[in-house]
Every structure is written in C-alpha cells, then in structure tokens.
C-alpha cells in the first residue's frame, strides 16, 4: 500500500467518523451522547472569548492529510450564516505557512497602475473610510464535483460536507473597491484590475473593472469580528457570486490595468476544456444551486414520521426567487418555503414539511434565481456542456461550475446516500 493509498484510506475512515457525527446530529432530538474529554465549563463562569458547548461537534473536514484546505459542515449549518470558525478554507498556494500570521499594524494595501494617485492604506486608514456590511456567499468553482462517482481522488463523497462544503455565506464588512478606486482616480482606458495576496506565492487574479466597481468589497470583517487568519486576515477581497478563487485573501495590492493578466491560475489551471479541446476562459458566475442539507448523505432517519426538509440555495444571478422540492426522485415538485432574509448573491434557506412513510425514496431540490435561471438536471447540464453525463465520470478534465440538481436517496433503513450517479 503506497502513501497515497494510505492517505486515501485514512480519509475514508475519517469520512466514516464524520458521517457518524452527522448521524448523531439528525438524531439529536433523541438525545446524543455528550462529548467527553473537554473539561466541564460551568455556566456563568466568565469567558473573555466564548466557546461553543462541548456537546457540539460540527467541524471542518480536512481535504487530505496535511492539507490546510478544508470543507465546511453544511449539513450542520443553521440558517444562512456560516460561522467564521467553520468557513471552508482553500489555499491554492499554501506552502506550510498557512494560516499566515500577519500583523495588521504592518500590513499595507497598495493601489496603483492606471490611476491618477497611487495610494497605500494602513488597516487603520481603511477602517476610517465609509464601510458596508453585506451578506454574500463564496463558493469554490470546483465545489460539488466530488458528487461524481470516481471523481473524488480521496474516495466516494457521501455527505453534504464532502460534496458541497467548499461554499459558505457570511456577513462581510469592509470598504467598497469602487470607493478606493475613486480615491485613487481611475484613468481613461483602464478596464481591469489585478488583485494580489500576501501569502508566500502571492496569489493573483484579474477582475474586470465593471465588476470591481459594481459590488466588490475589500473586507476586514466576517460575521461581526475580524477575519480569521485562514480566511484572509487582516483584509481580503469579496467578489460576490464569482469563483471562490478570485476572492483574494491577505489582500495587499490592487493594480488597475487595461487587460486581463492571464496569471497562472487563469492560463494554466482554471479554464475548463470543451470536447473540441478549446478552453472556456473566465466563467466567473456561480450558477443557481440548491442543496438539501437535512436530511443529507451520511445521515440516518431514526424512524418514519415527520421531518422538516431544509436546505440552502444560492446564485450569482442575484436573489433566489423559488426553490422546489421533490420527495419522489423528481417526478413531482412542490414549492418550498423561503426563509427570510432572501438576499442577493447570498445563501437562502428553504424548508419543506415531509412525512416519511418508511419506503425508499429520493429527495432533491431545484432553485430559480431572479434572472429566471433554473438549476439544471444532470442531463440538462450535460447539454450545456455538450456532453453526456458519463463524460464527467470518465474524464480527468478539471470540472467546475457544476450545479445540477442533487438527489439524496433514502433507503428503507433510513440511511441517506449520494444518488447523483
């Protein structure tokens, strides 16, 4: 057994352990065995920085042993806000120094290039500027591809976390890029910017000026407090609705330019190949996607009877207008209830009452955004790509922007499984 195989097996084992946790979660109404090792903390004892109850066990899942990248436990998320401590982490160029330990007093944001006034901001200066707080999702462009059997190099993905957990939604606080660029004075002919992080390899991505001026945020806050180090402390870019990869963390530089810079990410790794061998450049917008998070893969329904089906829906196209749920494998759909708030380019929670009769069935959801774009079936997505669904299983091509309707199969025993293929 080589090292890779060992890693894979370890991953699978951990996956099973996580599935066990998830199982406990849906059974929490029946009383779950408490966590044990942590010392008891008496209620009422002062805690300068709060911790959750020792009975709560939702955690990020490491992408692979030794990796700093991780998936968020979407199946345990309550409402639309992903807690900072559970927000997914994908660091493309981590080389052992992640999370970065950046002193905010030393950190600078440089704005230069095709501007009248190049500017360097300290964190204190950024925080003096007019700010916004907005709720937006961030989703890795490769999210959900592990739903494809045989696609996950670490084994079969079963849970909402393993399949869809490279996404999250938070309240971001910071300064609009449009404000910063107005301060610097964008010159005629400028049409793009490049944004660069401060990590060892200085991740850099190109962004069209139209998008930057529309709604991009230079964010220093997440969910009411400073960003966590692994998510870009002290300051990052939030590019609402677009590929997670473009939301540069540890932001140190914005250069205004007149063309895309075709960085390594943009030229060598991100474009997705068509069947004719041509590559799609910059797709950016994450399409309408909905996921039932409860019940979801790896969980177990303890008995027949009532369950509230709940899930999350989001789209770069704006607000979610409608989510429909099917409890019969897509033969019929009924409208789910959208829970407030329903915000543009943010997670929207949906709920749907359901009585399980104990028979095998398939649960799935589809959403429609404010543009009228509907989450496609696997076959419909195949048509857009110009492929049959088998293609996704067979190819080693980089699969991104993968948002078909996701089915969960419920067995007679009450176990729930990924049933996409």
Name 366's bridge partners: 324
Q: How far is the CB of 343 from other proteins (least distance, A)?
A: 17
Nearer to other proteins among residue 150 and residue 302 (C-beta): 150
**Buried/exposed code over 327-339 (b: 16+ C-beta within 10 A; e: otherwise):** beeeeebeebebe
Please tell me the distance from the alpha carbon of residue 396 to that of residue 138, in angstroms, as a whole number.
25
Alpha helices in 236-374 (DSSP H): 264
User: Structure tokens of 84?
Assistant: 């900072």
Would you say 219 and 227 are in contact if contact means Cβ atoms under 8 Å apart? yes
Name 306's bridge partners: 355
412 binds other proteins (CB under 8 A): no
Nearer to other proteins among residue 200 and residue 303 (C-beta): 200
Name 204's bridge partners: 196
Q: How far is the CB of 399 from other proteins (least distance, A)?
A: 12
Site string (10-49) toward other proteins, x via CB under 8 A: ----------------------------------------
Nearer to other proteins among residue 78 and residue 275 (C-beta): 275
Please tell me the distance from the alpha carbon of residue 365 to that of residue 405, in angstroms, as a whole number.
6
Name 168's bridge partners: 138
Would you say 375 and 405 are in contact if contact means Cβ atoms under 8 Å apart? yes
Four-point Cα dihedral 32, 33, 36, 38, nearest 10:
10
Q: How far is the CB of 262 from other proteins (least distance, A)?
A: 5
112 binds other proteins (CB under 8 A): yes
Q: Which helix (H) or strand (E) holds 256?
A: strand 251-257
Nearer to other proteins among residue 73 and residue 240 (C-beta): 240
Of 381-400, binders to other proteins (CB under 8 A) are: 381, 384-385, 391, 394-397
User: Structure tokens of 101?
Assistant: 């330990």
| Of the candidate residues 42, 45, 47, 117, the single one contacting other proteins (CB under 8 A) | 117
Q: Which helix (H) or strand (E) holds 9?
A: helix 3-26
Nearer to other proteins among residue 157 and residue 374 (C-beta): 374
Nearer to other proteins among residue 60 and residue 107 (C-beta): 107
Q: Are strands 361-369 and 320-326 parallel, antiparallel or unpaired?
A: antiparallel
CA torsion sign for 207, 211, 213, 218 is: negative
| Of the candidate residues 68, 131, 191, 377, the single one contacting other proteins (CB under 8 A) | 191
Of 290-319, binders to other proteins (CB under 8 A) are: 315-317
1 binds other proteins (CB under 8 A): no
Site string (127-166) toward other proteins, x via CB under 8 A: -xxx------------------------------------
Q: Which stretch binds other proteins (CB under 8 A): 14-22, 40-48, 230-238, 375-383?
A: 375-383
Q: Count residues contacting other proteins (CB under 8 A)?
A: 92
| Of the candidate residues 178, 351, 377, 415, the single one contacting other proteins (CB under 8 A) | 178
6 binds other proteins (CB under 8 A): no
Q: How far is the CB of 272 from other proteins (least distance, A)?
A: 9
Please tell me the distance from the alpha carbon of residue 227 to that of residue 83, in angstroms, as a whole number.
11
| Of the candidate residues 28, 38, 53, 120, the single one contacting other proteins (CB under 8 A) | 120
């Amino acid at each position: 057994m080589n090292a890779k195989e060992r890693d894979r097996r370890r991953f699978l084992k951990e996956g099973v352990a996580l599935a066990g946790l998830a199982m406990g979660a849906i059974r929490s109404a029946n009383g779950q065995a408490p966590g044990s090792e942590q010392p008891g903390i008496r209620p009422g004892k002062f805690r300068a920085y709060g911790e959750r109850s020792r009975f709560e066990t939702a955690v990020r899942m490491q992408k692979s042993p030794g990796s700093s990248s991780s998936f968020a436990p979407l199946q345990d998320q309550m409402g639309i806000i992903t807690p900072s401590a559970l927000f997914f982490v994908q660091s493309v160029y981590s080389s052992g120094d992640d999370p970065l330990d950046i002193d905010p007093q030393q950190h600078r944001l440089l704005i230069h290039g095709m501007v009248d006034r190049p500017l360097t901001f300290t964190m204190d200066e950024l925080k003096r500027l007019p700010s916004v707080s907005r709720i937006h999702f961030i989703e890795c462009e490769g999210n959900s591809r592990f739903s494809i059997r045989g696609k996950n190099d670490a084994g079969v993905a079963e849970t909402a976390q393993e399949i869809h957990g490279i996404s999250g939604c938070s309240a971001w606080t910071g300064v609009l890029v449009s404000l910063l660029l107005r301060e610097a004075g964008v010159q005629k002919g400028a049409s793009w910017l490049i944004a660069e992080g401060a990590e060892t390899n200085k991740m850099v991505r190109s962004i069209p000026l139209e998008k930057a001026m529309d709604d991009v945020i230079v964010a220093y806050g997440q969910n009411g407090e400073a960003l966590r180090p692994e998510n870009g402390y002290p300051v990052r870019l939030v590019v609402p609705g677009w590929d997670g990869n473009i939301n540069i963390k540890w932001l140190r530089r914005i250069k205004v330019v007149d063309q895309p810079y075709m960085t390594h990410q943009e030229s060598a790794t991100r474009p997705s190949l068509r069947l004719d061998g041509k590559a799609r450049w910059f797709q950016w917008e994450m399409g309408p996607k909905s996921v039932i998070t409860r019940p979801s893969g790896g969980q177990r329904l303890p008995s027949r009877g009532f369950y509230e089906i709940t899930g999350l829906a989001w789209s770069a196209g704006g607000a979610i207008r409608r989510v429909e749920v099917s409890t019969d494998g897509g033969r019929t759909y009924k409208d789910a209830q959208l829970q407030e708030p329903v915000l543009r380019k943010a997670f929207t929670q949906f709920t749907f009452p359901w009585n399980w009769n104990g028979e095998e069935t398939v649960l799935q959801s589809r959403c429609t955004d404010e543009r009228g774009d509907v989450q496609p079936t696997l076959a419909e997505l195949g048509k857009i790509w110009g492929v049959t669904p088998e293609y996704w299983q067979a190819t080693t091509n980089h699969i991104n922007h993968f948002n078909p309707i996701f089915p969960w199969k419920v067995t007679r025993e009450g176990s729930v499984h990924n049933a996409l293929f």
